[in-house]
């Protein structure tokens, strides 16, 4: 998959087996914390609870990591905006649609946005395999745009697509920082701390009473989601220091399959054969992107 930094500073092009399984683990963890968001009646509250936990964890770890370098700070602040924008649109998408629909659209469209950026902005030429992968993912996303009983998904579909754009943006920026600037642990800890503060304030202001009461009622969302969110992100960024960013970004989106499985078994959402087929298209496209 064409991207600004196709390879890391080690020049690796083959993904070691331990990195492969680590990223798969991260994909599962990522789908897990997103599923926890849908357990709460108000996704914005659930995300706020999760970020409270990640902020506290980051604060505890902070004395053991280096202070971000002057070169890192502009990128850290920039990606902070991108991560917050991602959360805002993710919440809007979850309010409008089922987890089993929104999650595959948001995650599956991310690599497509990266490819379009590479072609339109960077002037990169696509191979036949890359074109096929885009078509497969686009077909799967289009199939998910149909809601139950043939009704259009509506706003949730479009919010999910824009969420994918935010995902693509912060993936490229984060990948650049850890693979070209370095300071992986410092970057992760400070990003989650600052993100935790901002997101907590955002969620609290949306409904102070519900947010405070949810801290005890949905403590498992805060702890479980916080640990899974931070672990998934940390693993993926570590992998980006071992192999090209594009390979990690594509493999990470196999979380689409984990998300669909969780939507049926954990959230008890109905998943027709039609939607399973759509999931298959997205996963096939993601695999092709990895192989391209």
- Give the relative orientation of helices 219-240 and 43-61 as an angle to the nearest 10 degrees: 60
pLDDT band at 281 (very low <50, low <70, confident <90, very high): confident
> What is the pTM for the complete model shown?
0.79
Least confident of 66-70, 94-98, 173-177, 269-273: 269-273
With respect to residue 78, please indicate whether it lies within any of the assigned structural domains.
Answer: yes
Longest dimension (CA), the chain: 54
> Would you say 203 and 48 are in contact if contact means Cβ atoms under 8 Å apart?
yes
Q: Which residue has the higher pLDDT, 19 or 264?
A: 19
- Which residues contact residue 192 at a Cβ distance below 8 angstroms, ignoring those fewer than 6 apart? 51, 54, 55, 57, 58, 230, 233
Asked if residue 275 belongs to a domain, the reply is yes
Is residue 8, in this structure, part of any structural domain at all? Answer: no
Please answer whether residues 145 and 157 qualify as being in contact, where contact means their C-beta atoms are separated by less than 8 angstroms: yes
Other residues' Cβ atoms within 10 Å of the Cβ of residue 64: 8
Task: Give the separation between CA 108 and CA 249, rounded to whole angstroms.
Answer: 11
Domain total of the chain: 1
**Residue 48: partners with Cβ closer than 8 Å, 6 or more residues away:** 199, 200, 202, 203, 204, 206, 211
What's the pLDDT at 268? 59
- Residue 5 pLDDT exceeds 50: no
| Residue 234 belongs to some domain of the structure | yes
Distance CA 160, CA 107 (A): 8
Residue 68: DSSP 8-state: P
Taking residues 199-226, report their average pLDDT: 90
Cα of first residue to Cα of last residue in the chain, in angstroms, is 6
Residue 10 lies in a domain: no
Q: Is there a domain that residue 5 lies in?
A: no
Most confident listed range (169-178, 187-196, 204-213): 187-196
Q: Give mean pLDDT, residues 161-185.
A: 88
**Calpha distance 44→122 (Å, rounded):** 35
Whether residue 150 is contained in a domain is answered as yes
Q: Which of 74-83, 87-96, 177-186, 255-264 has the highest mean pLDDT?
A: 74-83
CA atoms within 13 A on the CB side of 144: 35
Give me the domain span that covers residue 212.
Answer: 18-291
Q: What is the CA radius of gyration of the chain?
A: 18
Would the pLDDT of 6 be above 50?
no
Q: Which residues of 240-264 are buried (b: 16+ CB within 10 A; e: fewer)?
A: bbbbbbbbbbbbbbbbbbbbbbbbe
Q: Which residues pair with 146 in a beta bridge?
A: 152
Q: How confident is the model at residue 62 (pLDDT cuts 50, 70, 90)?
A: very high
Rounded to whole angstroms, the Cα distance separating 265 from 138 reads 26
Residue 74: pLDDT above 80? Answer: yes
Cα four-point dihedral sign 31, 32, 35, 36: negative
Model pLDDT for residues 248-278, shown as the tens digit of each residue? 776 777 777 776 676 665 655 666 666 677 7
Mean pLDDT of the chain: 79
């Amino acid at each position: 998959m064409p991207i600004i930094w196709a390879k890391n500073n080690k020049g690796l092009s083959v993904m070691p087996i331990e990195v492969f399984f680590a990223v798969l683990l991260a994909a599962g963890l990522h789908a897990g914390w997103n599923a926890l968001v849908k357990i709460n009646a108000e996704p914005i509250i659930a995300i706020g609870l999760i970020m409270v936990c990640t902020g506290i964890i980051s604060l505890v770890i902070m004395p053991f990591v280096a202070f971000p370098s002057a070169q890192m700070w502009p990128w850290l602040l920039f990606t902070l905006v991108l991560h917050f924008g991602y959360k805002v649109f993710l919440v809007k998408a979850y309010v409008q649609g089922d987890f089993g629909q929104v999650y595959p659209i948001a995650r599956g469209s991310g690599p497509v946005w990266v490819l379009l950026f590479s072609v339109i902005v960077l002037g990169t030429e696509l191979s036949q395999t890359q074109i096929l992968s885009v078509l497969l993912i686009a077909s799967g996303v289009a199939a998910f745009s149909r809601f139950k009983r043939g009704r259009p998904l509506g706003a949730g579909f479009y919010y999910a697509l824009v969420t994918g754009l935010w995902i693509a943006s912060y993936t490229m920026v984060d990948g650049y920082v850890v693979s070209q600037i370095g300071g992986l642990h410092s970057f992760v800890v400070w990003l989650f701390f600052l993100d935790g503060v901002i997101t907590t304030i955002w969620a609290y202001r949306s409904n102070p009473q519900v947010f405070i009461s949810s801290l005890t009622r949905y403590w498992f969302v805060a702890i479980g989601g916080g640990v899974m969110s931070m672990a998934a992100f940390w693993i993926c960024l570590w992998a980006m220091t071992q192999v090209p960013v594009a390979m990690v970004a594509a493999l990470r989106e196999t979380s689409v399959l984990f998300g669909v499985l969780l939507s049926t078994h954990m959230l008890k959402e109905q998943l027709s054969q039609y939607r399973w087929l759509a999931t298959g298209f997205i996963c096939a496209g993601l695999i092709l992107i990895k192989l391209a």
